[in-house]
Amino acid sequence: MLKVKKALIILLEIGFLVGAFSCQSQKEAEVTSKPTDWKIFNTPTEASLRGLSPVSDEVAWASGSGGTWLRTVDGGETWETGVIGGMDTVDFRSIHAFDAENAIAVTAGQPAQIYKTSDGGKNWELKLAESEQAFFDGISFADENRGYVFGDPVDGLWMIYETLDQGNTWTLLDSLPKAEEGEAGFAASASSLSARGDDIWLGTGGSYSFLHHSPDRGKTWFRYSTPIIQGESSQGIFSLVEVDNEEIVVVGGDYLKPEDTDKNWGVFDKNTKAWKEKKDTSPRGYRSGITYFSKNSWLIAVGPSGSDYSENGGGFWQKFSSEGFHAVFKSRNGESVWASGAKGKVAKLIF
């Protein structure tokens, strides 16, 4: 009987040690977890892809030069592609996908148009055609039905269209934010506009870089000066993302100086309406896209010179890949991060 008790005690001690070691290993894995690189897919196009909209780990859409659209429904293993509305000379830099069948695509440049597909890209229907003055820069949806497309200023006012029916009809907002002379938007990743709840945030550049904000779906507007480099047509905010309903993180810089780290990012506190003091590190160059991977609390920023991440809200930035991209987005279900770039490049974050 005594031998049996000793054996049971030994087994219990071994089980405790194994469990403790397992928990410790799990904690260490959680602490050391970080993005390691990108899984790059083979796509059937050489188009420059600045429009990107991942729905899930399996479904993602992209769009770009030559009227190109792309779609995968198996996590990037295979792709379907085509030309939007026969517009093979037009650059579609903005896209928003609702699911595997329905998506909105927006041109950059002329003609300024918005298209929608409801059959997985087989057919595209023109939903809006603007004047020759218009140049669309970005798209963002606040929910399944309500979304916004913004364009460069016309007659001193920013152009912002709203849809309330998943992009079937579009209406210019009655109240539009004012623009300074030479202030402009960037369509580098179609992500300098963010709509969430009743809030609309717009980051700009050029002669001036401002953060414009409407707290009531575009009825009233406020604007804030930014610490981002500005003054030239190649400088300013190129992308922004909201973090935990507390902050707006912006990235950009000067696209003519892709390695320059001067004034290329900032954090705006939504509560104090002020820019937070930045730490010693910055993304490693001009960055055209940023997303927040809330699952792991990571900021992921991309640009032509590489990809960076921060796990503490921008307090410390680290470059994890030399792969360059135009755009980066978290999937709508929050489980994966996708990026798109030049020569048909689409990738998924490895971590």
Q: Which helix or strand (DSSP H or E) is residue 30 part of?
A: helix 2-32
Tokens (6 digits) for 217: 């779906």
Q: Is 9 part of a structural domain of the chain?
A: no
Q: pLDDT value at position 300?
A: 98
Tell me what pLDDT residue 21 has.
39
pLDDT in tens, 225-256: 999 999 999 999 999 999 999 999 999 999 99
- Residue 67 is predicted with a pLDDT of 98
User: What's the CA gap between 328 and 35, in Å, rounded?
Assistant: 14
33 assigned to some structural domain: no
Q: Could you tell me if residue 29 is inside a domain?
A: no
Kindly give, in sequence order, each residue whose CB lies less than 8 Å from that of residue 13, ignoring residues fewer than 6 positions away: none
Please report the pLDDT score of residue 23 as a whole number.
46
**5 secondary structure, DSSP code:** H
- The reported pLDDT for the residue numbered 3 is 46
**Assigned domain for 330 exists:** yes
In-domain check, residue 171: yes
Write the burial class of residue 273 (CB in 10 Å: 0-12 exposed, 13-18 middle, 19+ buried). exposed
Rounded-to-integer distance, Cα 106 and Cα 297, Å: 30
pLDDT at 243: 96
- Identify the pLDDT of residue 214: 98
Q: Is residue 62 part of a domain?
A: yes
This model's pTM is above 0.85: yes
Contact 94, 63 (CB under 8 A): yes
The dihedral sign for the CA sequence 74, 79, 80, 85: positive
Find the CATH number of the domain harbouring 175. Answer: 2.130.10.10
Residue with tokens 């909201």: 242
Backbone φ, ψ for residue 154 (5° rounding): -130, 125
Q: How far is CA 124 from CA 102, 213, 310, 320, in A?
A: 10, 32, 39, 38
pLDDT (tens digit per residue) in 153-171:
999 999 999 999 999 999 9
pLDDT at 11: 42
Which residue type does 192 have? S
- Residue 211 DSSP code: E
Asked whether the CA dihedral 172, 178, 256, 290 is positive or negative, the reply is negative
Please state, in angstroms and as integers, the Cα–Cα distance from residue 331 to each residue in 298, 328, 349, following that order: 14, 10, 11
Q: Is residue 19 part of a domain?
A: no
CA distance 224 to 192: 15
Question: What CA–CA distance (Å, rounded) separates 178 from 157?
Answer: 5
76, part of any domain:
yes
Confidence at residue 211, expressed as pLDDT on a 0 to 100 scale: 98
- Residues 208 and 225: their CA atoms lie apart, in Å, by 8
> Cα separation of 178 and 147, whole Å?
20
**In whole angstroms, what is the distance from residue 280 CA to residue 258 CA?**
19
Segments forming the whole domain that contains residue 261: 43-350
pLDDT at 117: 98
User: What is the mean pLDDT of each successive set of 10 residues along the chain, which is 351 residues long?
Assistant: 44 44 43 84 98 98 98 98 97 98 97 98 97 94 98 97 98 98 97 98 98 98 98 98 96 97 97 89 97 96 98 92 98 96 98 93
Structurally, the chain folds into a number of domains equal to: 1
